[in-house]
Structure 1
Amino acid sequence: MAVLTEPVTRERSALITATAFVVALSLRPALTAVGPVLPRIGLDLHLGEAAQGLLGTLPLLAFAVASPLVHLASRRFGMERAVFVSLLVLALSSALRPYTGQAGLWIGTAVVGAAIAIGNVLVPVIIKRDYAGNVSRATGVYTAFITSGAAIASILAVPIADAVDWRLSLAVWGGLAVVVAVIWLPRTLSPEPMPAARVEDGTPPVSVWRQPTAWLVTGFMGLQSTSFYLFVNWLPTIEISTGGVSERVTGVHLFLFQVFGLIGGLSIPFLLRHPTNQRAGLVTASTPILVALLGLLLAPQLALVWAVVGGLGQGAGLVAALSLISLRGRGHHETTQLSGMAQAIGYTLAAAGPVVAGYLTQVTGGWSTTLIVFAVLSATQVMIGFVAGRDNR
């Protein structure tokens, strides 16, 4: 009997551990469902284009504000319980915000962003703990689930709005968060180990804000996020303006950008598997972004190629950034603080990036200056990856 029970117990434990990937499915739909129906929201609630743009940026600002505070909730309640509460808050705010008027939409969107920030910060730390022997590959799977959830919500938003209305197309993702919370619940029932007073290498804890390596990790995460949101927000417009691509075709290119992001994210862990030196992986992940930006500048007629190359770089870059956070954090609490720091600054830059890009283009009358500026930022990311990925022994 014992021979049968042990494999069953092991299998159940593996399934519970894998629920971290299921949480990733719920971390983007509440955000990516907004863009496709944003014109309907603006028309119904009398929001101008500037207000609509701010509504799309608000979750990123909420990420920036909430991320550095997540470690406090983690220390107080434990990581599993903090994630569970964040899922319940995400479910409630997602369901209520479309039906509570303009004020409720704004407040609910901010709360949605803050709830997602908890998952953004803690789930990669949980993955580091649960998959300590294969952090980069597990992080690749995690980001694949994030991207899949985002893509599904983007595809379904308009059909749901057409069938019912835009309110249901936003609220329905609260139901997904409830399902994920139920799946996650078993992880909250067992007590978590008390945190150690020192980090894993035996040195006294030092604030991550005073560690040079933490700033390198943060710089890499911030620059990766900035270029990602430049592509997501402006790639179709850039292609139309510089390459003469039709609006319909730019939509296909943006879809391919996301698809090849999945491929890049699942491929890059092979180069990040070294336990102490990730230089090759970080540089390889960063270079395609630089190539894509220079390609859009110098050969815009090859827009499809640059969308594919940029997608590969963005998917690989996100996995590289999250893996770097896990690999450079010494102990769970320091990794949580590092994750909060990197994501706070990273999403602040991400929120500012599309705005700066639009301003530069408006002032200069074209996209050349903007592409040059962001290419310089991407080159900086390559250099930071070279330094941050060095042997950390």
Structure 2
Amino acid sequence: MAEVLRAGASDALPRRAVWLLAVAFTALNLRPFLTAIGPLSGPIQAGTGLDLSAMAWLTLLPMGLMGVGAWCSPAVLRRWGARSTVAGALMVLALGCLLRWAGLEGGVLIASAAVCGAGVALVQGALPGIVKRELPGQVAPVMGLYSAALMGGGALGAQFSPWAVQQGAQWTAVLAAWALPAALAAWAMARVLPWARPALAAAAAAAAAAEGTGWLLRRPRTWWLMACFGLVNGGYASAVAWLAPYYQAQGWGAAASGGLVALMAVAQAAAALLLPWLAARGVDRRPWIWLTLAAQAAGFAGLAMAPGAAPAAWAALLGAGLGGCFALTLVLALDHLPDPAQAGALGALMQGGGFVLAGLAPWVVARLHGATGGFAAGWWAHLACIALVALAVAQFAPWRYALAMRAPRPA
């Protein structure tokens, strides 16, 4: 990574290629802190004494903070600029991972999840708008690359962490080790993102402050996007938190159940990379989103009705549906507005409200588990959410974007 960035700095490689590599490496770091938890739920519960409801906070809290932080990201970007915001947020993520070295204290482990979630929130809220600014004509494929790298990082976290524990490593040390690549990503983004020139930064901040994002919150379309993003990513949050424990309760080991989570994440990455590229051939994203919702429905139905019949197929279908829908929904939000700053703000608001809603899903599934004695009720609940999203997506016709998001009239 260092050699490539040095080459980019000396113009040996095109700046765009170096920038894309840094974005992909950054995205790889945004999910391992979440996906490593489920496969290691056994040793974590044994070491900390946390029950299922408390374990749910390890996903609920960072997802909720991802939402709140995404709302804050436009203001942080205006105040500090892209370079300081993204690199600083990645260092916060690294700090949160490092705190897990003391994770035998349950309270410290939960606090570390909050710190990680805050760092990831600012990165996720900032990058879509930066992508639209840097590559305005290639938003769909670049967001596909970003989403694929994000999901690929989830696969690494789910597969590597239980493997390292099987080799004799302490689970707290394994979770803390993810601080190193996060710190390297912070260094990479500091190298490729330019410092904002004070005069330009001040002018941009003044213009953005004058307009604000309040008008976006007065658009029903913003809230519909939040709801759809939240309901879909609630399925991701629940799968990350409970897919491995679901199969461990049926006799699977940590590595095997972690392999299912990794398979789901690989399928997510493949779909996130491929589907935006295919969808870029037209302007209407809805048929592709419906396809991803159908894949999610098949995965959740399989988990609920026949978990032992084809667990790899259910995980792959679920992953493909979740990954493709995540990437396409980000593209859909950016499609609504031609101005990169406004589109980035809409994407941040969508992610903000969406992640707050998604963060509740693991807790709801844990409560349903307590009431029914199993996870099947939670999978059925996600099937109902998919049906609601499929109905809501019908209104996202591209020829209605301008009407749905028309800017406020001057006073």
TM-score range for the pair, normalised by the shorter chain length: 0.7 to 0.9
Say if 2:86 and 2:126, in contact at 8 Å, map to a contact too: yes
Kept in 2: contact 1:136–1:269 (CA 8 A): yes
1:61 to 55, 60, 64: 64
Residues 308 and 108 of structure 1: is their aligned pair in 2 closer, same or farther, counting only changes over 3 Å? closer
1:102-139 CA distances to partner (integer Å, 9 max, x unpaired)? 35433332111101111111112222222221211111
Rounded to whole Å, the distance in 2 between the matches of 1:112 and 1:63 is 9
Paired letter, 1:123: L
Cα offset, 1:320, TM superposition: 0.9
1:128 aligns to 2:135 (yes or no): no
Q: Structure 1 residues 251 and 264, CA, compared in 2 at 3 Å: closer, same or farther? A: same
Following superposition of structure 1 onto structure 2, how do residues 113-124 of structure 1 map, counting pairs within 5 Å? 113-124=117-128
Which amino acid counterpart does residue 95 of structure 2 have in structure 1? L
Amino acid at match of 1:20: V
Q: CA deviation at 1:95?
A: 1.8
CA distance in 1, matches of 2:290, 2:51: 41
Q: Which residue of 17, 23, 28 maps to 2:26? A: 23
Q: What does residue range 271-310 of structure 1 map to in structure 2 within 5 Å?
A: 271-274=278-281, 276-296=283-303, 301-310=309-318
Q: 1:250 to 1:147 in 2, by over 3 A?
A: same
1:78-115, Cα deviation, whole Å (9 max, x unpaired): 12220011122222332234238735433332111101
State the partner residue of 1:172.
177
Superposed displacement of residue 313, structure 1: 0.9
CA contact (8 A) 1:286 1:378 kept: yes
Match of 1:233 in 2: 241
How many Å separate the matches in 2 of 1:164 and 1:294? 36
Question: Partners in 1 of 2:368 and 2:73 — Cα distance?
Answer: 34
Partner residue, 1:217: 225
Aligned residues of 1:160 and 1:168 also touching (Cα < 8 A): no
Cα deviation, 1:134-182, whole Å, max 9, x if unaligned, reads 2111111111111222222222223444444223212221111221122
CA deviation string 1:292-344 (max 9, x = no partner): 33455566645544333222211111111111222224423323332332222
Alpha-carbon distance between aligned partners in 2 of 1:100 and 1:264, rounded to the nearest angstrom: 34
Between the aligned partners of 2:142 and 2:68, the Cα distance in structure 1 is 27
Residue 14 of structure 1 aligns with which residue?
16
| Corresponding residue SS for 1:55 | helix
1:1-393 pair list within 5 angstroms: 9=11, 11-18=13-20, 19-99=22-102, 102=105, 103-161=107-165, 162-191=167-196, 193-194=200-201, 195=204, 207-235=215-243, 247=252, 252-274=259-281, 276-296=283-303, 301-364=309-372, 370-391=378-399, 392-393=401-402
Instruction: Map Cα deviations across residues 217-267 of structure 1 (whole Å, 9 max, x no partner).
Output: 2122112101222333344566799xxx76367655444322222222122
Which residue identity lines up with residue 177 of structure 2 in the other structure?
V
**Distance change in 2, residues 1:107/1:362 (3 Å):** closer
Q: Which amino acid aligns with 2:149?
A: F
CA separation of 1:60/1:17 partners in 2, compared to 1, >3 Å: closer, same or farther?
A: same
CA 1:99–1:82: 2 relative to 1, 3 Å: same
Contact 2:53 2:367 (8 Å CA) reproduced: no
- 2: CA distance, partners of 1:46 / 1:255: 26
Query: What one-letter code is carried by the residue in structure 1 that aligns with 2:192?
Result: R
Q: Is the 8 A contact 2:275 2:324 kept in 1?
A: yes
Distance in 2, matches of 1:240 and 1:175, equals 29
Amino acid at match of 2:183: V
Query: Which residue in the other structure is 1:5 paired with?
Result: none
**Percent of matched pairs sharing the same residue:** 24
Which letter maps to 1:314? L
Which consecutive residues of structure 1, in runs of 5 or more, have no partner in the other structure? 1-7
Q: Aligned AA for 1:267?
A: L
Distance 1:361 1:85 in 2: 38
Which residue identity is paired with 1:131?
L
Q: Is the 8 A contact 1:292 1:309 kept in 2?
A: yes
TM-score by length of 1: 0.84
| Alpha-carbon distance change, 389 to 357 in structure 1, aligned in 2, over 3 angstroms | farther
The change in CA–CA distance for 1:263 and 1:106 in structure 2 (over 3 A counts) is closer
RMSD: 3.1
